[in-house]
């Protein structure tokens, strides 16, 4: 959908789409060229984008793609459809429950994760000082998630005995 949204900005070839994606959305997870061309082929196959010409490039000519009317409709639908939370527990939650179930200490897990989150929060705070607006809003998004995870860590740490008892009861019930 990201590539379809970038095509909505204007027709483009794969190389330019990758560059736009990396600049606007990629941050620390750039798109691979193979992903770009595979996605463009699927968008074209599904009638959401069309090849509209060739543009000279270094070496072979580059196929230029444009969004179709069906692509605009699909993009409009996707943009306004809210994300539904997965409801699946995080890996951290799973580690804490399994450690409690097996009698392992959990403080080390929570402390280690807290340290990693705090280090990442410091990195984001420092990076925000010299970044553009896109990088700042991305950092704000990540920071909000880290802060929520930190609240969960503090809640779990404060309730470890209660959680341990609950895990023990569930395990006994499952026998």
Which two structure tokens, joined as six digits, stand for 46?
A: 């599904």
For residues 24 and 57, state if they share a domain.
Answer: yes
Question: Is the confidence at residue 102, as pLDDT, over 90?
Answer: no
**Residue 85 belongs to some domain of the structure:** no
pLDDT in tens, 64-89: 999 999 999 999 999 888 877 666 76
**Residue 12 belongs to some domain of the structure:** yes
pLDDT in tens, 132-167: 898 899 889 999 999 999 999 999 999 999 999 998
DSSP run (H or E) holding 53: strand 49-55
Q: Which residues, 6+ apart, have CB-to-CB distance to 20 below 8 Å? A: 6, 9, 12
For residues 72 and 147, state if they share a domain.
Answer: no
DSSP run (H or E) holding 92: helix 91-101
Q: Which of 80, 108, 124 is the last residue of a domain?
A: 80
**Residue 67 belongs to some domain of the structure:** yes
Q: Which of 58, 80, 102 is the last residue of a domain?
A: 80
**Residue 86 belongs to some domain of the structure:** no
pLDDT value for 44: 95
pLDDT value for 26: 74
Mean pLDDT of 104-131: 92
Phi, psi of 63 (to 5 degrees): -75, 130
pLDDT in tens, 85-100: 666 768 899 899 989 9
CA distance 157 to 57: 57
Number of domains observed in the structure of the chain: 2
**CA dist list (Å): 128 to 29, 50, 52, 116, 124:** 17, 38, 39, 18, 6
Q: Which domain holds residue 74?
A: 2-80
Provide the CATH number for the domain around residue 55: 1.10.10.10
Please name the residue that has the structure tokens 């395990």.
Answer: 171
Q: Which one is predicted more confidently, 158 or 29?
A: 158
Question: Is the confidence at residue 110, as pLDDT, over 70?
Answer: yes
pLDDT value for 78: 93
**Helix/strand/coil for 28:** coil
**Residue 157 belongs to some domain of the structure:** yes
């Amino acid at each position: 959908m990201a590539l379809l949204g970038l095509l909505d900005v204007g027709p483009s070839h794969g190389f330019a789409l990758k560059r736009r994606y990396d600049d606007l959305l990629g941050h620390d997870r750039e798109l691979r060229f193979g992903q770009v061309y595979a996605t463009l082929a699927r968008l074209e196959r599904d009638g959401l984008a069309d090849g509209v010409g060739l543009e000279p490039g270094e070496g072979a000519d580059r196929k230029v793609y444009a969004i179709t009317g069906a692509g605009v409709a699909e993009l409009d639908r996707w943009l306004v459809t809210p994300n539904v939370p997965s409801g699946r527990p995080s890996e951290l939650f799973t580690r804490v429950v399994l450690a409690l179930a097996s009698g392992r200490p959990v403080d080390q897990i929570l402390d280690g994760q807290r340290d990693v989150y705090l280090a990442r929060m410091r990195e984001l705070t420092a990076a925000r000082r010299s970044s553009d607006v896109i990088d700042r809003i991305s950092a704000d998004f990540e920071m909000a998630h880290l802060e929520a995870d930190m609240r969960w860590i503090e809640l779990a740490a404060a309730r470890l005995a209660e959680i341990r008892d609950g895990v023990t009861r569930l395990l006994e019930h499952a026998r």
